[in-house]
Amino acid sequence: MNLREITKLIIVIVIISFLCLYFTTMGGYYEYNLKQKNVLTEEAIKRFEKDVASGKEIIASNYIEEEKNYNNKVSNIALKLSNTISETFDKIIKYLFKQIENTVNS
């Protein structure tokens, strides 16, 4: 492989990585998780109002939903790898755009 083919391969990999990250973000995964937390909160409010109306003893811990922690070594490694890929991708994109800007301004 010569330098031109390697450069094309790198550009294709960068574009595919960008598109994957973009569509993941646009897919709404983060917004879906926020919506789920909001639904749980609304359910807790309804339980609270029902308990107040029926005169039950109010204990705050009954209405606070604790998030479950599913972290383990594998998920932590995957998260670190994902963050590293994201940071590297960000640096590559910034470098490429800086080079394009320098080329256009020259």
Residue 80 lies in a domain: yes
Q: What is the pLDDT of residue 10?
A: 86
pTM: 0.39
Q: What is the number of domains present in the chain? A: 1
Q: What is the pLDDT of residue 38?
A: 67
Residue 32 lies in a domain: no
Which structural domain range is residue 77 located in? 72-106
Residue 88 lies in a domain: yes
Residue indicated by tokens 């990585």: 17
Residue 35 lies in a domain: no
pLDDT per 10-residue tile (average), the chain, 106 residues: 83 83 69 69 80 81 70 78 85 89 82
Q: Give the residue among 103, 101, 82 at the shortest CA–CA distance from 93.
A: 101
Residue 23 lies in a domain: no
Residue 25 lies in a domain: no
